[in-house]
Amino acid sequence: MEPPEFTLTAGPTMASHRVLQALGSPIIFDYDPVFLEHFRDTERKLAEVMRTDGDVVLMQGEAVLGLEAAARGLVRPGLRALNLVSGVYAAWFGDWLRAYGADVIEHTVPYDEAIDTADVARLLDDNDGIELVALVHSETPSGVENPLAEIGPLAHRHGALMLADIVSSLAGADVRIDDWHVDLAVAGPQKCLAGPPGMSLISVSERAWQAMADNPTAPRGSFLSLLDWKHTWIDGGRVAFPYTPSVSDVNGVNAALSEVLDSGGVDASVARHALAARATRAGVRGLGLELWPKSDDYAANCVTAVRAPEGIDIPSTLLHIRDRYGVMLSGGYGDLKEKLFRLGHMGPASRSLNPLVAVGAFGRGLADLGADVNVGAGTEAVLAVLSEAHAGEAARA
Amino acid sequence: MEPPEFTLTAGPTMASHRVLQALGSPIIFDYDPVFLEHFRDTERKLAEVMRTDGDVVLMQGEAVLGLEAAARGLVRPGLRALNLVSGVYAAWFGDWLRAYGADVIEHTVPYDEAIDTADVARLLDDNDGIELVALVHSETPSGVENPLAEIGPLAHRHGALMLADIVSSLAGADVRIDDWHVDLAVAGPQKCLAGPPGMSLISVSERAWQAMADNPTAPRGSFLSLLDWKHTWIDGGRVAFPYTPSVSDVNGVNAALSEVLDSGGVDASVARHALAARATRAGVRGLGLELWPKSDDYAANCVTAVRAPEGIDIPSTLLHIRDRYGVMLSGGYGDLKEKLFRLGHMGPASRSLNPLVAVGAFGRGLADLGADVNVGAGTEAVLAVLSEAHAGEAARA
Amino acid sequence: MEPPEFTLTAGPTMASHRVLQALGSPIIFDYDPVFLEHFRDTERKLAEVMRTDGDVVLMQGEAVLGLEAAARGLVRPGLRALNLVSGVYAAWFGDWLRAYGADVIEHTVPYDEAIDTADVARLLDDNDGIELVALVHSETPSGVENPLAEIGPLAHRHGALMLADIVSSLAGADVRIDDWHVDLAVAGPQKCLAGPPGMSLISVSERAWQAMADNPTAPRGSFLSLLDWKHTWIDGGRVAFPYTPSVSDVNGVNAALSEVLDSGGVDASVARHALAARATRAGVRGLGLELWPKSDDYAANCVTAVRAPEGIDIPSTLLHIRDRYGVMLSGGYGDLKEKLFRLGHMGPASRSLNPLVAVGAFGRGLADLGADVNVGAGTEAVLAVLSEAHAGEAARA
Amino acid sequence: MEPPEFTLTAGPTMASHRVLQALGSPIIFDYDPVFLEHFRDTERKLAEVMRTDGDVVLMQGEAVLGLEAAARGLVRPGLRALNLVSGVYAAWFGDWLRAYGADVIEHTVPYDEAIDTADVARLLDDNDGIELVALVHSETPSGVENPLAEIGPLAHRHGALMLADIVSSLAGADVRIDDWHVDLAVAGPQKCLAGPPGMSLISVSERAWQAMADNPTAPRGSFLSLLDWKHTWIDGGRVAFPYTPSVSDVNGVNAALSEVLDSGGVDASVARHALAARATRAGVRGLGLELWPKSDDYAANCVTAVRAPEGIDIPSTLLHIRDRYGVMLSGGYGDLKEKLFRLGHMGPASRSLNPLVAVGAFGRGLADLGADVNVGAGTEAVLAVLSEAHAGEAARA
């Protein structure tokens, strides 16, 4: 079997040729002066994309590692935490918070809705002494985006640390670590950055460092330790690593960050993802199908989730589309596995006519299997949005 | 400015990752035993794709070099040649034949039609002693394919050498050098093979070698000399080159040939190009536009040529499409420059939903500029053909 | 500053073009059927290189992650462990064993000596109920190799689990997981395999799985959990991952393993590393310098450690050699930082005349800085060993 | 059989990773605006490396094509030419001059000597009306460099056109097209530029263009035509090509030129090649062997030619060295095939300790086969020269 021509999934997503070339660059010693400087340069670029003047940490291991490291670092037994759940990943995160001993208040909304800031305000008012608020900015499994821009400052005003999963939002949605008072955020390179799927990209505020330093159960001398990175790398003057970094992954992440910064910057990247998402939603509606998020107000920029039509088997549909049209899409994940399809538009998949390919393959594939879809209306709608944007700039940025 | 996301032109066309990796492989000495064997292996694969047991020659320089070498090698002053013209390249070739001293009978049909075999039969009957018949199998500038399968044997029966330009047909259309008695054929790697645009791939029959050997004006001791390759390389046992081959181009051509042979073979490659062409033609008709070739019977598999709608400026339309949608298409060429658009479907561009991208970008771009096109019908038609093919095999082979 | 031409360090080491191309291959969805099969294929190749019919696990994160996962998985409070220390890494590992609650007997020899099997036998006889024996097969920081072939079976006969750090020995030294009764071994791809420095390659015996399953403190639901891989991936039929694997790293590791298997197999790889090590030692002695390991009997195949001459500053010497000759070598590590130089000969660095480059750059660089070394004798000695091997096969395999 | 680890030949030579990545970059349409500008950028960089404000032409096909194009373009029947022969290529060039009808005065010196400017001055004085002087700047087959810096101006003062083969000297030796009044020069990318071996890089002065325009036998409408490039490309405003350029080769050449310009510029490149040549000559003498050029004053920077010791068979020696040590060197070429070995130090092969590898493999390989060589003295001498250069800058630039 051959790989698909188009990978338009919920991630890992297609990487650009520039990123692939960086991944394939010669491997040098991690203590070579060129690599040390390259590592620092990667940190600087990450901070720029995250819009923070604070520390960033590049840990090796996909974002789940970073999230576990964050949770273990911040949570001491008895910590009072507010976990905001609008999807699969946030629910999973709550399990971790509890496992490490936190006293968790969990606020859950249906997975096709976003968290309402007013609810968070009420909860913070009603529950004294919340020390940590946890939020998934963009729930990749359901294509729902939460209002981190509002919840971050709110948590801050209540004296709580704000911990955000920005795995699939960084570079695809507006993310402002410092302005929004996000104390610890974890991003993944394999989503909207379209880098390799092997690292955790983390921002840490001074308050978060302090909380970890004060936490006797925070990992130390462990691959899961953020503090090891602070002590050995940051405080040591950025000349020694606690663990051997993956030279090739760092090369790839640097290229992915550089690509965002060189192609019009973060705003242009966000605008391009938003346009692709809008075009894809229009296409799905044109096909006559129903989006998963109840409102476009919180439909995510990274993936478009679609309710599976009645009687359609998701796995066999995905294989049919891949087999006949060479296009790989995603199904659901976790609790939503049987309920939805996901069309990804992250990184290169957000450029040019990739949304047309996603909607065309999806619609035609469903039609092949007997679903009642209007293929022509769907594909026409994608193109109409891309055209109306009058946005060669955005489409090509 | 950034490169386009999709290059769906009349060639050079997009190369696969495998071909690109081969092009980027380490350069070694041309007389290294590994390269010598690699060169021979490339010849064997080329012969297999060309379906010949005869000699093949890999000359460096795009196919124009090979065509000039062929014409100069075969044409001696006074040679009686029949040049069959249904397009720009054949007309150009006639100039060469005359320049080198041939006595040329030129049979020309309108550029939106193919040569009729019956006319050729009549011409051969009516004109005694034709020594050379020249035909462009697939006219890339106008997307018209000529019946080489019939004309080759016909020429052979009349004792004439058959010289064929198969630059854009090899691997995209049926080509059978030996069965069809083609004495000298020149292919380009940058069309349906989707290799690098830097070589001429040539087959030479024993009769053609003899004709060159007997021709005192055939180039010798020249970069244009086929005989140099015969004397130094072939007759010398394939251990010494007359000129330094381009190691990287040979690597790329080998990979392109291997890809055809490994992905179902030549027949699968031809079927895939035919399907992409059919889907593209259906899409263009769905848009409400007119194809350039008067009949689908001879519409080429490599590119689909479309008559430019009234009032549409071709160059600015192409730039608009590239700018807004990230898709590069082709306009006309030579005498046809002002008359048509060309949507390429060669190599990777013939796979998966690339025809949808071509038709979508083309239709939507024309609509943006005021043309009366039905974008939804066009894109729907592309997908309908690809679906009806029931041909995951063909689409993905 | 430009990267060095030669990276002849203790790792990460230079990767071959084949590995680099694999790292730079298109990134596809981790649940694409092609990737799922590629992942399984990587496991099969790893098992072949490790010479085991048991399970292997590919975790993401450099080998320290795998070692921590192994220690946390196997060690329950009160476990009786024998830690054998002949170098920096084994000492570090002892800290982990104690941190997780093991009751550790630590047997330490000077870091320029290897563990003596007789001592281990005596310790196992004298201390009833040892449940775990831990050994670093090849101490990269000091270039000393320990007799795992003898200690593994010994531990087995005493009913203890054998845990081995084979990070820098796999593919460079003889490693036989099943024959030697190694219950849990952790290798790194960035050493003799010369792959990317981002994964842990782990073998787990049935007894080791059982011990983890029986251990209530073994990580579960954690990036550090081996059991998560067993439950989700292995027991689930190898169709679902507990965590997103790094597609690019897996591509690189697969290529590195394939390269070993395709180039004569594991034995040829080991022979080539042994030859490079022998040539390097001869060269260092020819220079008039002293090797760190007291005996060649246990000098490692991966790096050659050399005692720093009196009065020579290691960091500035390394920078001088890099600056003037374009060759990056390693200094010491941990407690040995100020005491020795290390010349790496792993992966591509073990091929061809790379040992000559290492010895030449090292000797000439020391001479530049005033050390009394015989450059000609050193370089001559390297070549004499390579020549005497009469081993085109080994040198090139 | 596997490729060698080191290709230290007379060219094609090893390319850098940067050049390889450029060769493996996506292929786009030759009329894409990005490629058009990239082509012009390549011309500008070539002109800078050639130190000319005049026109440059990038023809596809190895340098022999460019030389043939130059000779055919400039030579009309009866043209009075002075051909200066100190090696194989110049002799070959004389055959061409005569074949195209020139009235040739040929001045030949032994192939281990350089042309003496005084002889040229005398010949120009003694032979009225010389219209063309032809010189090979650097004879790759014998490693001899001729005084183009003196002969160019001399020819100019006598009113003759100066035609120079700078195939293997550009970027390795001082070349100043405008200052030295070189009217037509042809360089190859696969020598000291270390690019792909598929193009001819040509400078043309106004006088040379005029001579071609006035020459009725200059190729027109031919792949060999420089005038076609002038008329279609240059005079047309650099928007249309006479022939399809090889997108991948142009990418590679651009990268190779950029690398020279970015790594300290042309002077640094020349200094590095000179240093490598000096080190290699010292090494060869240290081995106890005899250089081919009678004087170091004219030993070339690109390759070091060495007289084969008595009783040594060149081809089997080369294979032995390649087989046992993984190093590919060159033998002789043409008339010198049986007489000498050549150690290349071009491009990456001139960097770092590649000269040590060349001398070490060569010396040890000869010793293996019974030659009387002092391996230690040879390798020591290479390193001594590199060290004495006190030239981290030069060695690494």
Instruction: Mark yes or no for CB contact B190/D27 under 8 Å.
Output: yes
Cα atoms found within 13 Å of the Cα of residue D45, Cβ hemisphere only: 23
In terms of Cβ atoms closer than 10 Å to its own Cβ (0-12, 13-18, 19+), residue B187 is buried
What is the interface size between A and C, counted as CB pairs within 8 Å? 197
Scanning A4-23 for CB atoms below 8 A from D yields 17, 21
Instruction: Mark yes or no for CB contact B4/D28 under 8 Å.
Output: yes
Share of chain A above pLDDT 70, in %: 98
Q: Using N-to-C axis directions, what is the helix angle for A63-74 and A88-99, rounded to 10°?
A: 40
Measured in angstroms, the CA of C201 and the nearest CA of chain A are apart by: 14
End-to-end, the C-alpha distance of chain D in Å comes to 34
Mean pLDDT of chain D: 96
Tens-place pLDDT, residues B239-271: 999 999 999 999 999 999 999 999 999 999 999
Q: Report yes or no: A316 at the C interface, CB cutoff 8 Å.
A: no
DSSP letter assigned to residue D220:
-
b/e per residue C23-36 (b: at least 16 CB within 10 A): bbbbbbbbbbbebb
C323, C376, C380 member nearest D392 (Cβ): C323
Confidence of residue B392 (pLDDT cuts 50, 70, 90): very low
What the block records as the tokens of D251 is 């990418």
D29, D68, D221 member nearest B222 (Cβ): D68
What single string gives the DSSP state of each residue in D30-55? TTSHHHHHHHHHHHHHHHHHHT-SSE
Tens-place pLDDT, residues A51-60: 999 999 999 9
Q: Report yes or no: C328 at the A interface, CB cutoff 8 Å.
A: yes
Q: Report yes or no: C379 at the D interface, CB cutoff 8 Å.
A: yes
Instruction: Mark yes or no for CB contact A61/C65 under 8 Å.
Output: yes
Confidence of residue D395 (pLDDT cuts 50, 70, 90): very low
Confidence of residue B334 (pLDDT cuts 50, 70, 90): confident
Which residues on D lie below 8 Å from B12 (Cβ)? 27-30, 244, 247
D377, D379, D386 member nearest C325 (Cβ): D386
> Alpha-carbon distance C262 to C275, whole Å?
19
Check pLDDT > 60 for residue A395: no
Distances (CA, A) of A176 to A51, A289, B91: 5, 34, 63
Q: What are phi and psi of B274, to 5 degrees?
A: -65, -40
Residue of C nearest to B23 (CA): C21
Q: Report whether D199 contacts D189 (CB < 8 A).
A: yes
Amino acid at the residue B76: R
Tens-place pLDDT, residues B53-109: 999 999 999 999 999 999 999 999 999 999 999 999 999 999 999 999 999 999 999
Phi-psi region of A79 (alpha: psi -120 to 50; beta: other; left: phi over 0): beta
Which residues on C lie below 8 Å from D384 (Cβ)? 364, 375
Instruction: Mark yes or no for CB contact C326/D368 under 8 Å.
Output: no
Scanning A233-292 for CB atoms below 8 A from C yields 243-249, 252
Which residues on D lie below 8 Å from A21 (Cβ)? 21, 24-25
Q: Report yes or no: A25 at the D interface, CB cutoff 8 Å.
A: yes
> Alpha-carbon distance B193 to B195, whole Å?
6
Confidence of residue B395 (pLDDT cuts 50, 70, 90): very low
Looking at per-residue pLDDT, the higher value among B1 and C75 belongs to C75
Scanning A216-235 for CB atoms below 8 A from C yields 221-224
Report which of B180, B127, B189 is spatially closest to residue B157, judged by C-alpha positions.
B180
Check pLDDT > 60 for residue D392: no
Instruction: Mark yes or no for CB contact A360/B383 under 8 Å.
Output: yes
Report which of D16, D39, D355 is spatially closest to residue D190, judged by C-alpha positions.
D16
Instruction: Mark yes or no for CB contact D375/C375 under 8 Å.
Output: no
In terms of Cβ atoms closer than 10 Å to its own Cβ (0-12, 13-18, 19+), residue B228 is buried
Measured in angstroms, the CA of C320 and the nearest CA of chain D are apart by: 9
Tens-place pLDDT, residues B105-146: 999 999 999 999 999 999 999 999 999 999 999 999 999 999
* E strand or H helix at C207: helix C206-213
Question: Which chains, if any, share at least 3 CB pairs under 8 A with chain C?
Answer: A, B, D
> Alpha-carbon distance B109 to B304, whole Å?
19
Q: Report yes or no: C334 at the B interface, CB cutoff 8 Å.
A: no
b/e per residue B118-157 (b: at least 16 CB within 10 A): eebeebbeeeeebbbbbbbbbbbbbbbbbbbbbbbbbbbe
Q: Report whether D140 contacts D89 (CB < 8 A).
A: yes
> Alpha-carbon distance B210 to B192, whole Å?
30
Check pLDDT > 80 for residue D39: yes
Q: Report whether A155 contacts A30 (CB < 8 A).
A: no
Tens-place pLDDT, residues B272-317: 999 999 999 999 999 999 999 999 999 999 999 999 999 999 999 9
Which residues on B lie below 8 Å from C24 (Cβ)? 21
Which residues on D lie below 8 Å from A24 (Cβ)? 21
- In this prediction, residues A271-285 reach a mean pLDDT of 98
Check pLDDT > 70 for residue D101: yes
Residue of A nearest to C1 (CA): A34
What is the interface size between A and D, counted as CB pairs within 8 Å? 9
Which residues on C lie below 8 Å from D376 (Cβ)? 376-377, 379-380
- 3-state secondary structure at position D179: coil
Question: Which chains, if any, share at least 3 CB pairs under 8 A with chain D?
Answer: A, B, C
- 3-state secondary structure at position D343: strand
Q: Report yes or no: A390 at the D interface, CB cutoff 8 Å.
A: no
C32, C248, C322 member nearest A328 (Cβ): C32
Instruction: Please tell me the pTM assigned to this model.
Output: 0.97
pLDDT of B390 reads 59
B17, B24, B25 member nearest C26 (Cβ): B17
A2, A325, A392 member nearest B353 (Cβ): A325
Top residue of A353, A362, A366, A368 to mutate, by most chain B CBs within 10 Å, is A353
Residue of A nearest to B369 (CA): A387
Scanning D54-113 for CB atoms below 8 A from B yields 60-62, 64-65, 68, 95-96, 99
Confidence of residue A390 (pLDDT cuts 50, 70, 90): low
What the block records as the tokens of A60 is 């090796």
Confidence of residue C193 (pLDDT cuts 50, 70, 90): very high
What residues contact B210, with CB distance under 8 A and at least 6 apart? none
Confidence of residue A350 (pLDDT cuts 50, 70, 90): very high
Mean pLDDT of chain C: 96
